[in-house]
A and B are shown apart, each in its own frame.
Chain A
Amino acid sequence: MSARDHAAWAQAPRLPASHFVSGLVYTDPDIYAAEVSEIFGKVWRFACHESELPNVYDYRVFDHAGQSLFAIRGPDDRVRTFLNVCAHRGARLLHQPSGNASRITCFYHLWTYDALGKCTGIPRPVGYEAAGLERSALGLREVRTRVKLGLVFINLDDQACGLDPFIGPALDNLTSVLGGVPLEVFHYNRVVLDANWKSWHETNMDIYHENMHVVLRKTQMKAMPMEDRRLAVFANGHASSGELQAEYSGYDGFAARGEDVPPLPGITSTDFRFVDLFPATAILSRGTVVRIDTATPLGPDKTLLEMRGLGIKGEPDEHRQTRITHHNQYWGPFGRNVPEDMFAAEACEAGFRHGAARYQIIAREENLSGQDDAILRAFYAEWGRRLGRRPSDPLASHPA
């Protein structure tokens, strides 16, 4: 028998529970709400790159866990993050995606704040004095912020562990790339995908899907023996690649990669390295250029993607242009790979949305080489741990 009837189709795969995922994890509204509060509300999350805040009082607005926040470089050069709402009536404070503001003034009643989050001005304070309300108690809500290798991370949970214990060694294979020389964001775009956030992030974690990309079939899959590949999984759901290679001459127009601009520190032009940070950030380097993408859930079937491309800060124009070309060959809205990944994420969403697809199989075992699904399994193990649910059967009741 090959095709299955309804009952057979609805049955869970005959696999260990760790090797498949219920489609409900993509569609159930209660699971989505729990993800926002128990995962996104409690983990360290990449917010922006410090090059987006080069000067004192530069700020950058972003969304996280359904909330608007802004990171701002203070007069002491430290980056802090605040909820982007006024302490008075809750109005959004900053409306531009980026800018420079030594004083942040709410448009509504002109309350003002400084870059440390202190409330510095309230028009006609006499009315509040009568009520015993003091300005010193009206500062902004500060959000924990740490900068690591130029990456600005934030955490809404004041009780969560520190950034370093959370990340552990997951960024080690990109330490030289991200930290060897100052980098700078030259590309940023955001897209609202009709897909669950995990469907997108799976495209970063699923090595096996390289079969989908003609560029990877021609440049990556034959560049080294599959068994020589090295993948790594870490505590807290993170993962990274070790030794992936590309052979760019395999794809027309890409052969010059590796000869036309110096690689980033500690990496060769043909190296491909990536880090997947739980829950939804991926950092990739193809030798000469870096991409950072972050998924922010907007609903069970809506995801905000932010994509960044980075080169070396202050590099000669011709180097920058070449890195932009390298970035755009694979990534960005016109890249050869990214539109295909987005197509895949939306196609999976369409499959699971109304229950046609029931399970996702993540059962490949290749000893952390080749096209092992171990990264996906590590992700879902952490997802299950944080939500107190089994990814294979997420609506079943089980002990907290």
Chain B
Amino acid sequence: MTEAPLEAAGVRQLIGRAGLLLDDGNYDGFLALCAPDFNYRIRVWSPELAKDMIWLEHDYAGLAQLFAALPEHLTRPGRLTRHVTVASVDAAPDALKVTSVVTIHHTDLEGCTSTLAVGRYLDRIVEQDGELRLKSREVQLDTRDLGIGSHAPL
């Protein structure tokens, strides 16, 4: 697979922007970067069960419902910051396959920052109406102890 330089630049812009929007809690903005058939999934390997686990999965509509519900929930105070590094962009027949390394920090209301999770984003990106869109995102988490957890996608 070869990386197309112009597409790669657009991909990095898309993934970077998606991370910033999630950091800011701008969920409408994040959804605007997603294709209508978007699928979001958090996958975690369990060495205890020797199998993969799905900890969160939504289609576009389900994610929109989740985002709409967030203000009603009791959530971890503070802010998440996603540090995303695009590691590879590969052309596939129906989409660009993008692998990024992600580290997510949590900063509490006293300004104390700690690492919440590390893992990878496995994204599939398509072009729709002249714009790159996220068609799917699988978050592969290495971190399995997420403290009190999260209502919001990582």
Which A residues lie within 8 Å of B47 (CB)? 96-98
Q: Which of B56-98 contact A (CB under 8 A)?
A: 56-57, 62, 65-66, 68-69, 72-76
Q: Roughly how many angstroms separate A400 CA and B46 CA in the complex, as a whole number?
A: 45
- Which of chain A's residues has its CB closest to B141's CB? A333
| Inter-subunit contact B69/A188 (CB<8 Å) | no
| Inter-subunit contact A191/B145 (CB<8 Å) | yes
- Which of chain B's residues has its CB closest to A194's CB? B147
| Inter-subunit contact A252/B68 (CB<8 Å) | yes
Name B residues whose Cβ lies closer than 8 Å to a Cβ of A: 42, 44, 46-51, 53-57, 62, 65-66, 68-69, 72-76, 144-151, 153
| Inter-subunit contact B145/A339 (CB<8 Å) | no
Which of A193, A333, A339, A342 has the most B CB atoms < 10 Å from its CB? A333
| Inter-subunit contact A328/B49 (CB<8 Å) | no
Which B residues lie within 8 Å of A340 (CB)? 73-74
A325 at the B interface (CB under 8 A): yes
| Inter-subunit contact A253/B73 (CB<8 Å) | no
| Inter-subunit contact B75/A339 (CB<8 Å) | yes
A326-350 interface bits toward B, Cβ cutoff 8 Å, 1 = contact, 0 = none: 0010001111101110111010000
Which B residues lie within 8 Å of A346 (CB)? 148
Q: Roughly how many angstroms separate A361 CA and B146 CA in the complex, as a whole number?
A: 30
Which A residues lie within 8 Å of B151 (CB)? 334, 336, 339
- Which of chain A's residues has its CB closest to B77's CB? A343
- Which of chain B's residues has its CB closest to A184's CB? B49
Per DSSP, are chain A's interface residues mostly helix, strand or loop, or mixed? mixed
Instruction: Contacts A332-B149, A339-B74 known; list 8 others, CB within 8 Å.
Output: A188-B48, A189-B144, A321-B54, A328-B54, A332-B56, A333-B150, A342-B148, A344-B74
Interface size class of chain A, counting residues whose CB lies under 8 Å from the partner chain? 35 or more
| Inter-subunit contact A328/B149 (CB<8 Å) | no
Which A residues lie within 8 Å of B76 (CB)? 339, 343
A324 at the B interface (CB under 8 A): yes
Which B residues lie within 8 Å of A226 (CB)? none
Name A residues whose Cβ lies closer than 8 Å to a Cβ of B: 52, 60, 96-98, 185-193, 212-214, 251-253, 321, 324-325, 328, 332-336, 338-340, 342-344, 346
| Inter-subunit contact A334/B50 (CB<8 Å) | no
One of A52, A253, A321, A343 near B62 (C-beta < 8 A): A253
One of A189, A214, A325 near B69 (C-beta < 8 A): A214
| Inter-subunit contact A214/B145 (CB<8 Å) | no
Which B residues lie within 8 Å of A339 (CB)? 74-76, 148-151
| Inter-subunit contact B148/A193 (CB<8 Å) | yes
Q: Roughly how many angstroms separate A332 CA and B72 CA in the complex, as a whole number?
A: 19
User: Given A60-B48, A188-B48, A328-B55 in contact, is the A335-B65 Cβ separation under 8 Å?
Assistant: no
Chain B's nearest CB lies how many Å from the CB of A219?
12
Which A residues lie within 8 Å of B75 (CB)? 339, 343
Q: Roughly how many angstroms separate A321 CA and B41 CA in the complex, as a whole number?
A: 13
Q: Roughly how many angstroms separate A328 CA and B42 CA in the complex, as a whole number?
A: 11
Which B residues lie within 8 Å of A212 (CB)? 74
| Inter-subunit contact B146/A333 (CB<8 Å) | yes
